[in-house]
Chains A and B, each alone.
Chain A
Amino acid sequence: MSQVRRLAMHMGLVVALCAMLYPVAWMISSSFKPEAMIFSSPGLIPEVVTLENYRNGWFSQRDATFGLFLANSFIVCGFAIIGNLFGASLAGYAFARLKFPLKRLWFAIMLGSIMLPIHAQLVPQYLLFLKLGWVNTYLPLIVPKFLATDAFFVFLMVQFMRTLPAELEQAAEIDGATFWQRYWRIVLPLSLPALVTTAVFTFIFTYNDFLSQLIYLQELKHKTVPLGLALFLDAGGGSSSFGGLMSMSVLSIGPVLGFFLASQRFLTRGIATQGLK
C-alpha cells in the first residue's frame, strides 16, 4: 500500500514538474523555430530547426550585442553580491551581537523598510541619486547594497548569527580579539550558509530586477539583460521579435541556473549543518 502511495505521489510530482517545465521547454523549442512559426506552429517539436533567432537576437541592436547586456548584468550582480555580503553581514552582526542605544527601535525600523513598496521609494531615491550625479551609472544599483539597504538579507543574517554559540566569541574576547577580529575570524566563517544564501538570492533578485535598472540605466551601452530582453517587444502595437526574445531568454536563464546549481551544494550543506545543531 505504501508503495502504491509512494508511486502515486511520485507520479503526481512528475506531472507537476512537467507542468512547471513546459513553458521553459516551449521557450527553448521556440528559440529554434523560424520566427514566423513560433505562434503558427506552437507545438513543442519544431518542424524546421534554425539558429537564425540566436544570430538575430545577439545582434539585434546596432550599437550593442546581447553579450554586452549579459556582461553589464554580471557587473551589477557581482558588485551587488559583494555589497550585500559586506553590508548585510556587518549590520546583521551589529543587531545580533552588539549593544547600542535604541537597538530595538532601529531593528524595527529596518524590518519596517521591508514592507515599504519599491514604488513608494522610487522617486525620492531617483532624486537623491540624480543630485549625486549617479543616474546613468551602475552606482545606484550597487552602492546601497554596501550600506545594508536590503533589509531582507540583514534580517536573514541576524537570525542566523543569533544561532551561533556566543561562547565562541566570548572565548575569542578573552584572548583579546577586537570586534572586527571576532566578526572576521569567528562569526563570518561560521555564517557561510547564510552568506551563500544571501549571495544566491542577491544574484537572482538583481539579475531579474527590471524596474530599478530601467530607471537608472538610460543608454543602450549600460543596459542589462532584463532591459535588453524588453527591447525585443513592442507592446504598443508595433512589431516585436519573438524569435530574438526566445533565443536570448534561453541564453539569459543559463547564468541563473548555473549560479544556483553551483551554490546548491553549499545551500544544502548549510541547511544540513543547521539541522545537526
Chain B
Amino acid sequence: MNAKLNGLKTLTSVLALSLTGMVATPVATAEAQSGLSGEARYSWWGGPSRNEKTYDVIELFESENPGVSIVREPSDWSGYWQKVNVQAAGSNLPCIVQMQNRWLANYDDPSILLPLDDLVASGNLDLTGIPKPLIDSGRGEDGKLYMVPTGVFFYVMLMNQSLAESTGIAPFDPDSVTWEEFKTWLLAVNEKLPDGVDAAGGMPVSPEAFIAYVQSHGQKVFSEGGVGFDEAIVTDWFNYWEELRKAGAAQDADSLVEERSDLIEESGIANGRLVVQPRPANRLDAHQAVLDTAAPGSNLDIALYPLGPDGAGEDVGINGISIAAGCEAGARDIAVAYTNFFLQDERAANIYSSDNGVVAVDRFQEAQYKMPDATDGQKEQIEALRVVSKRAKGVFYPTGAYQALKDSLQSAYERVAFGRSTPEEAAANMINEINRNMK
C-alpha cells in the first residue's frame, strides 16, 4: 500500500502537466477493432441522463462493429454496488464493469477483476493521453492494474453567488482562503441572509470536506489497517462546525438529518436554501438547472475547499472501467475494444461529455472545454480541475474504508449536533468505529 500511496503523491503534478498539454497526445484515435463478434455484458450506474449517453456510445460502437452486441445492464447507484457485490461473489460479473477507485479495494483480486497490465503492455488496451498517476489510481493493493480511468471527479463547495453577493459581504479569495477565514466569512454572511437560508450545509458530515480538512492539516486519512488521523483533528472539525451551527451559520441538526440524501433535487443548494454545500464538481449544471426553477436568476459557482497549515487537502477520485476475470475470451476482446472505443474515440467522448467526471484523456479535456456548445458548468469543472490537479492529495481507500468513514462521520457529528456526545467523545467513538469496520 505504501507504494500505492507514494504513487498517488505524484498524481496532482502529472494531472497538471496533462491539463497544460505536456503529456504526449496521439495523432489518431483508436480504431474500432475488426473481426469481433458475439456479445459482452456491460453494467454501469447512473440516472436517465447518463443512461441515454451510455446507450448512444454503445449504439455507435455496435454500428461500427457489426456482429457485436453489448448487453446493457444499467442500475441506480446504490443498487449497483449491491448487485456487483453478489455478482463478484459468484464470479458472474459483467465483462465490462464500471468502477470507482473508492470501491476498487473491494474487488482488486485477480479472481474477480482481470489485471490489465499485460493488455496495456501489448498495446491492446490503449491508454494514450491518460496521465500515469491517474492510471496508477486504478491499481489494487498488489500493484496490478484493475481499472482504467475514464473520468476524474472531485468534490467542491457549490456556492450560490447570487445569495452571497446579496449580503454585501466581500467574497473570499477562492484560491487562498483558509479554514479560519472561511469560518469568519460564513459568520458574516449569515448575519445578512434572509430567514430560511443557511450559510453552509452538509459540510460537517461530508467525507470529502472532512478529508480536505484532515489533509490540509498535514494528517493522513487512512494508514495500514485503520484511519491515519487522530482524535484531536476530528474534535477540531466538530468544534469548527458546532461554533457555526450554534451561531446559526450552518444547518441545524434537524435540517442536517432531513437532508441525508445525495439527490440533487432535494439538496439545499439546488433549492436556494444554502449559500455553500459540498457537491461533486461535475454536477454543477444539474444543480443549476434545479435552482433555475427554485430561485430564478440565482447563479451557482464552484469554490474549492479552504486551505490549512499544510496547504490544500482535497482528494480527486477516478471513475473507470474494469474487465471481469471470468469474462470469456471472445467477450474479453469485445470488452477491450469497447474500453478503447470509450476512452479514445472522440465522438464517444463528446457524447458522454464528462458526465461521470472530467474525461481522463487529456486531449478531450481541452476539446470539450472549447466546444461551442460546452455549458458553463462543463467549463467551470475543467477550470477547477486545472487548479485542483496542482494541489490535490490523492487518498488510497482500503477495503470498506470510504463507506466506514461516511457512515461514522455522519452518525458521530449528528450525536454532537443533537447534544448526545461531546465532540471529544464522538471523535473517539468515530475512530474506533471506522477501525472496527475496516478490519
Asked whether any CB of chain B lies closer than 8 Å to the CB of A240, the reply is yes
Closest to A61 in B: B51
Measured between beta carbons, the chain A residues less than 8 angstroms from B74 are 220, 231
Does A235 lie within 8 Å of B78, measured CB to CB?
A: yes
Question: A127-B89, A135-B92, A219-B73 in contact; A237/B280 too (CB < 8 A)?
Answer: yes
Question: A39-B294, A215-B82, A239-B49 in contact; A62/B75 too (CB < 8 A)?
Answer: no
Question: A36-B290, A39-B266, A240-B47 in contact; A122/B76 too (CB < 8 A)?
Answer: no
Closest to B73 in A: A218
Asked whether any CB of chain B lies closer than 8 Å to the CB of A167, the reply is no
Asked whether any CB of chain A lies closer than 8 Å to the CB of B83, the reply is yes
Does A220 lie within 8 Å of B45, measured CB to CB?
A: no
Closest to B76 in A: A230
User: Which residues of chain A in 73-124 are interfacial with respect to chain B, using CB atoms and an 8 Å cutoff?
Assistant: 122-123
Bound together, the chains give a CA A60 to CA B262 distance in angstroms of 22
Question: A60-B48, A126-B90, A235-B78 in contact; A38/B265 too (CB < 8 A)?
Answer: yes
Measured between beta carbons, the chain B residues less than 8 angstroms from A227 are 79
Does A239 lie within 8 Å of B264, measured CB to CB?
A: yes
Question: A220-B74, A231-B76 in contact; A238/B46 too (CB < 8 A)?
Answer: yes
Measured between beta carbons, the chain A residues less than 8 angstroms from B71 are 218-219
Does B51 lie within 8 Å of A232, measured CB to CB?
A: no
Measured between beta carbons, the chain A residues less than 8 angstroms from B122 are none
Measured between beta carbons, the chain A residues less than 8 angstroms from B87 are 215
Asked whether any CB of chain B lies closer than 8 Å to the CB of A40, the reply is yes
Does A239 lie within 8 Å of B48, measured CB to CB?
A: yes
> How far, in Å, is B380 (CB) from chain A's closest CB?
16
Asked whether any CB of chain A lies closer than 8 Å to the CB of B240, the reply is no
Per a CB cutoff under 8 Å, which of A37, A215, A239 touches B47? A239
Asked whether any CB of chain B lies closer than 8 Å to the CB of A130, the reply is yes
Measured between beta carbons, the chain A residues less than 8 angstroms from B76 are 230-231, 233-236
User: Which residues of chain B in 63-122 are interfacial with respect to chain A, using CB atoms and an 8 Å cutoff?
Assistant: 71-79, 82-83, 86-87, 89-90, 92, 94
Closest to B280 in A: A237
Does A40 lie within 8 Å of B45, measured CB to CB?
A: no
Does B48 lie within 8 Å of A231, measured CB to CB?
A: yes
Bound together, the chains give a CA A63 to CA B261 distance in angstroms of 29
Does B51 lie within 8 Å of A214, measured CB to CB?
A: no
Does B41 lie within 8 Å of A236, measured CB to CB?
A: no
User: Which residues of chain A in 197-248 are interfacial with respect to chain B, using CB atoms and an 8 Å cutoff?
Assistant: 210-211, 214-215, 218-220, 227, 230-242, 244
Asked whether any CB of chain A lies closer than 8 Å to the CB of B332, the reply is no
